[in-house]
Each structure stands twice: as C-alpha cells, then as structure tokens.
Amino acid sequence: MGTIGSHQPNHVIPAYYAAKGALATMGVSLAKELSNTGITVNTVSPGLILTDELEAAYRVAAARKGWPEDWESIERKIVESDFPNPCGRIARREEVADLVVFLCSERADFINGQNIRIDGGAVRYV
C-alpha cells in the first residue's frame, strides 16, 4: 500500500513520503525481478480514506475551524480545502479494498509494475 504522496509529496512528515516513494520504486523493480514467474507486483496509492481515525481528527479540526458538525458538511469542507478532487468526496475503505482484491485476481494478471492511484482524480497529471 502506497499513497498519492508518492506522486505529490506533502510538506508534512517528509520521511513518510520519501519511504512511500521508495515503496513505489521497489514495486517496479520487483515486477522486473519476478519477470516470467506469473507473480505480479503493484502499488495501490490512495488519497484520503474515510477511517474512524480520519473522521475523529477532522471532527476536532471542524470544531476548531467553525465548520458545521454533521459529517456530510465536514466532508464537503475537506474536499474544498484539503483534498480537492472531481469525485467530491473521500474514498471509502471498501473501495480501496475492492481495488486490491481485483489486483489479486486472475482478471488482473496483465497489470504489473504499476503505482495505481485511487484518489477520486485528486492528482492531476497524465
């Protein structure tokens, strides 16, 4: 598991982003090392994922910033200020898990050596 920070590192905790960048690079190297073995190696790089911890932290931040108290409104504010993306929301854990399960399936046998973002389109480059 990676992070979109391997594509666009943040200024906070630079060592974390350096490690995630190295993880993505290692995935590509491992894919080459395991050529012709039938083993595929990919990195899944999500943006923000709605977890209990993320929600709790943003509820505290929302109270400090004077945002509304309901989660739907808080999530809109997060997308406006911290995590802009065309989907207009934060990923759910199940969505990320579904991608991982797909990549582990035979239907994904030709996907190899990739750093796949699941970020609602937040990282903008071709």
- Please list the active-site residues: 16
* 95 CB neighbour count, 10 Å cutoff: 14
Residue with tokens 């911290």: 82
Residue 117: strand, helix, or coil? strand
Q: Which strand (E) or helix (H) includes residue 107?
A: none
Contact 48, 90 (CB under 8 A): yes
Q: Which amino acid is at 96?
A: V
Q: Which amino acid is at 71?
A: W
| Token code pair at residue 54 | 């993320």
Residue 80: strand, helix, or coil? helix
